[in-house]
Amino acid sequence: MKRSVLLLANFVLVIAKSSVNRYVVSNQRVTFHEGYIRCLQYGLEPAEILSESDEKEIEAALEPLRESTQSILIYKMKRIVLLLASFILVIVRSSANKYVVSNQRVTFHEGYLRCLQYGLEPAEILSESDQEEIEAVLKPLREIGFGEGFWIFASNLVDKTNYYWLNSKLPLFYSLFSTGQPDNAGQKENCLEIYQISTFVFGWNDCPCESKIKFICQRKKEI
pTM tops 0.75: no
- Asked if residue 182 has pLDDT above 90, the reply is yes
Nearest by Cα to 20 from 65, 66, 57: 57
Q: Give the model's pLDDT for residue 72.
A: 43
Q: Which domains does the chain have, with CATH numbers?
A: 2-76 (no CATH), 89-218 (3.10.100.10)
Q: Give the model's pLDDT for residue 31.
A: 83
State how far the Cα of 126 lies from the Cα of 177, in Å rounded to an integer. Answer: 13
- Beta-strand pair 99-102/89-90: antiparallel
The arithmetic mean of pLDDT across residues 122-143, rounded, is 92
Per-chain mean pLDDT for the chain: 78
Q: Give the model's pLDDT for residue 66.
A: 59
Q: Among the residues of 118-211, which ranges form H helices?
A: 128-138
State how far the Cα of 199 lies from the Cα of 210, in Å rounded to an integer. Answer: 27
Residue 16 phi, psi dihedral angles, 5° rounding: -60, -40
Q: pLDDT by residue (tens digit) across 2-61?
A: 333 334 434 433 444 444 567 888 877 878 878 888 787 677 888 888 777 777 787 777
